[in-house]
Structure formats: C-alpha cells, structure tokens
Homo-oligomer: A and B are copies of this chain.
Amino acid sequence: MQGLMMDMPLLISSILQHADRHFGDTEIVSRRVEGDIHRYTYSQCHQRARRVADALTRLGVHNGDRIATLAWNGYRHMELYYAVGGMGAVAHTINPRLHPDQIAWIVNHAGDSYLAFDTTFLPIIEAIAAKCPTVKGWIAMIDADKHPVSDKIPNLINYETLLSGGNDDFQWPELDERSAVALCYTSGTTGNPKGAMYSHRSTVLHAYAAALPDAMGASSRDSILPVVPMFHVNAWGLPYTAPMVGAKMVFPGPALDGKSLYELFETEGVTFSAGVPTVWLGLLQHVKQHDLKFSTFKRTVIGGSACPPAMIRTFNDDYGVEVVHAWGMTELSPLGTLSKLAGKHQKLSPAAQQKILEKQGHVIYGIDMKIVGDDGQDLPWDGTTFGNLLVRGPWVIKEYFKGEGGDPLVYDKEGRGWFPTGDVATIDADGYMQITDRSKDVIKSGGEWISSIDLENLAIAHPAVANAAVIGVAHPKWDERPLLIVARKPGAEVTREELLKFYEGKIAKFWMPDDVQFVDAIPLGATGKILKTRLREQFKDYTLPTA
C-alpha cells in the first residue's frame, strides 16, 4: 500500500527557490577577484542563477553535460552550482591547487564541455586549453570590463556577458532526484584521481543532516563563512545548507590569510565557519599577534585532517569559539561524523569532555559505520580496538564515475554494500569514532594492529626529534614490525636506545619499534603530510636486526 503524500523530488533547485521565497533579502557577501566586496541577496542569486541556466541552455548544454569550475568561494561560483545542477547538467568542481597536467587529465576524463574560472587561474587555463578537446568554451568569471585577453585560449567567454543573454523566466526542470548534480575528483595519493558523482537526492539529504544541531547547527540566525573551498567536495555542502536554513553567506574569495579573514568575520558578523586546521593557524596567529577578539564568531567545524587538540583548546578557552571536530571524505559528500557532547557527557569533567571532543565524533542519521578486521569480521566498539572503517548511507558513493577502479564496496553477509574508507579507527561504546591511522600505514604484527600515527606522535614529543615517521617492515615471524625513522633537530643528539627507552611505559610492549633509523629530513607532500610511499621506497632493502 502506498502513502498518499505529495510526490516532490528532492532537487537542489528547490533549495535556492526556498531561500528566494522565504529569505529573499538575506545577503550573500563576496570578496571578489576584482578586489572589492560584492553583496546581494538570495533573490538576486536565484534570478542570476536562472539567467545562467538559460544562457547555458542557449549554448547547447544538455542534461548530464559536465560544466567544470576552477574558482574560489564566491557568488558566481554559487550561481554556477545552482544553474548547472538545477538545469540537469553536472557542476564539476576542480581543485586549482593540482598540477595543470592533472587538471587537464581530469577535464578530459570528465569530458567537460565548458569550464568557468576565476581569472586568478588564467595561467592554468592557458597551459591546458590546447590539451582539452572536449571543452567548447572557457568562461572567465569576471566583470566584462575586466575580461582578460589571451591568444592561448580559444572561445574565451565572459561570464557576465553570457549571463546578460539569459532570461530569468527560466523554469527549473522537475528532474529525477537520483540524477547527477555535481562531480568532484578525489585527491587520491595513489593512482589517478577518481570522480564522486553526487545526486540531487544525496545532496539535499546531506544538507538536511549537516544543518542538524549535532552537526553544524545551522540556522537563520547564522552568518556563515565557508573557508573550506567550493572547489573541493562542495565546501562541505555549505552552499546547500546555508540557503536551506536561510543563513547569511560570506565568501572569502582568494583572500584566505588571517588578516583578510578576520576583517570579513568582523564586518559581516560571521557566527559560523568551517575549514581545515592549517587555515585556522593563520587566523589564530593574526588574532593573537594583534590582540584581537571575535565579536560574533561562535562555532566552527574543523576537519579535512585531524585537528590538533591545542587548537581546539585555544579556540574554546581563549576565544569562546566552539570547535566541532569532524571527519568526512569526498566519497561521503563529505560529512560522516562530528564530535558534539551528548546528554550523558554533560556531567563529565572538562578534561574528560575534551578527550571526547578530540575524537572525530559520532555519525549523523543517514550514515552508518563499523570497524572490521582484515577478515571482514566486526570489531568491538570499546574505544581501543581499531579496525578498517566502513560506512554506508544515502550520501556515500556506490561507485566512481565511469566505473573507475571497479566496484569499491565491501559486502556484508546480508548483501549490503559498505564503502571502505581506507581509514583505521576505534569506536567507543557511545559511538564516538577516532581515526588512528590510514589502512595502508597501519602495521600488522602477528594479527595485531599497531598505529603508526600514535608511535609518531610519541616520538615527536622527544625534545631532540624534529620529525618522525613509522613504517612497517617485513618480518619472517610477525609479518610486519614497526621501524621508527627520525630526523633530529639541528645540533641535537639522541641515540637509538634513548628513543626506544622513551617509549617505555607509554605503549604496549609489542608496539615497541624493532629499530630506529636516522635521516636528514622526513619527506613531506604538498599538504604537509608525511610521504610514506617515498619512505617505503627508500627503506625497501632494509632488513630488521635479528633479536
């Protein structure tokens, strides 16, 4: 028997329409590449998005066509999100921090038919234009009177000129809610990037969940500044969540330095933000250096990589800003877990509460998770056992674009597919998850798992250690054993024995590294993460000393 409720598809166009009709004069404020501050309203955004959709239709863009963007957080990027997705095409956001060759590879893999870009990235476009045969036109997102000139870019279109040819009586089509709305490639550290293809349905459900009090807690009282970029995983869904709840939006454009961000926070009454730890370092430094306070900033979600506990404390204790530690992935739209205290935690000591808040947190309804061993068997939720983290839910991918990499899912005995995150984690009895390692970095010794990250964090605490990495090295009896690799501080002295002794009493005995090797420097990637692949290559002929 069917329910007798109105059958309305979950479409992103209905989000912007809602903001227009019910929060029409709420502002969207953007720092632009032109250098000034631009402000308009949700009603104006909706009007311009419809014009862009109409103009793209006139350009011959069809259902399912991929339209790429290479752009900062700003109102034009927001318009493109809604115009492209709303009309039934696919908004394909590309990370401009990738190498131009990678960008060209992604454009070709996606088969993008147009690419819109902030003029900051003109050099990238000039470098790739000749290599991207599917792209019929390159759209410069800038005022017409500042439109760039380039003889390296065929069919260089001005965004504002294009838009002015569109009609705002464009009607959003009633699409299948499972149709594609946006595409984002993973920044996978191994192999080629793979595309996550979000649907209207997954995007709307994610936006609902993201706004919940135990997630971002977004409301019409908020002024939201997404520091997290719109060019990667849709700025954690904020361009959908904010208009859904009628929050004011503040876009920082290209200026992500502490001073510029602080100015926007203060002039626009920002109450909520979201970003990765490194950006907050710059902001906190600026605020501390100039002895400033936040007048309106109340809470922030921090994710992307583990947030240092000290940062959580600084925000909270020194500035009265609540930090919500979060975990997600491109393949999860991206939100999976967030760490907010539950009712039962209210009576804990501040130190015990802090320990919980340092975890990556609790799933929001929609996402389910579990940890399993390499045999696929469920592991206990005791806060200490760690295993491969698997997730499922309506905003988790079931496969990558064009089937790249085959079926990524792992199936349980009921036949349900789970997405293996590649993370290793613990889950405690209350459902709070903590990432302990990446699956490929965890050291598997005699059936037991050893966290490379925990061993590294302990080593770094030694006063003579500049940086440290732990990798697994083959062992005839135990399969793998940990090898500690250390770069000493300039002029500092420390021996193998002293370092091993430093671990004593801090770890289980079988976690003790079998050896220590000294190097001049630990190799780091572009985002500051240790390049363990390079270390494994460097130590591939190394053999452990026999006991």
> Residues of A at under 8 Å CB distance from B?
1-8, 10, 15, 17-18, 21-26, 63-64, 90, 171, 176, 178-181, 196-202, 205, 208-209, 211-214, 217-223, 244-248, 269, 333, 340-344, 346, 362-363, 365, 368, 392-401, 414, 417, 419, 429-431
Which of B21, B205, B362 sits near A368, CB closer than 8 Å? B21
Contact yes or no, B219 A365, CB < 8 A: no
- How many copies are assembled? 2
Given contacts A221-B341, A223-B343, contact A394 B8 (CB under 8 A): yes
Given contacts A211-B212, A220-B362, A340-B220, contact A178 B393 (CB under 8 A): no
Contact yes or no, A5 B395, CB < 8 A: yes
Docked pose: A178 CA to B21 CA in angstroms: 28
Given contacts A7-B178, A8-B394, A221-B341, contact A362 B22 (CB under 8 A): yes
Given contacts A208-B208, A213-B213, A414-B171, contact A6 B368 (CB under 8 A): no
Contact yes or no, A214 B208, CB < 8 A: no
Instruction: Write out the residue numbers on chain B whose beta carbons fall within 8 Å of the beta carbon of A340.
Output: 219-221
Contact yes or no, A213 B202, CB < 8 A: no
Given contacts A208-B209, A213-B211, contact A4 B223 (CB under 8 A): no
Docked pose: A171 CA to B505 CA in angstroms: 47
Given contacts A212-B212, A219-B212, A220-B214, contact A180 B365 (CB under 8 A): no
Min Cβ gap A170→B in Å is 13
Write the chain B residue with the least CB distance to A417.
Answer: B6
Contact yes or no, A4 B219, CB < 8 A: no
Contact yes or no, A3 B246, CB < 8 A: no
Docked pose: A8 CA to B418 CA in angstroms: 12
Docked pose: A248 CA to B5 CA in angstroms: 29
Min Cβ gap A305→B in Å is 24
Contact yes or no, A5 B201, CB < 8 A: yes
Instruction: Write out the residue numbers on chain B whose beta carbons fall within 8 Å of the beta carbon of A362.
Output: 22, 220, 246
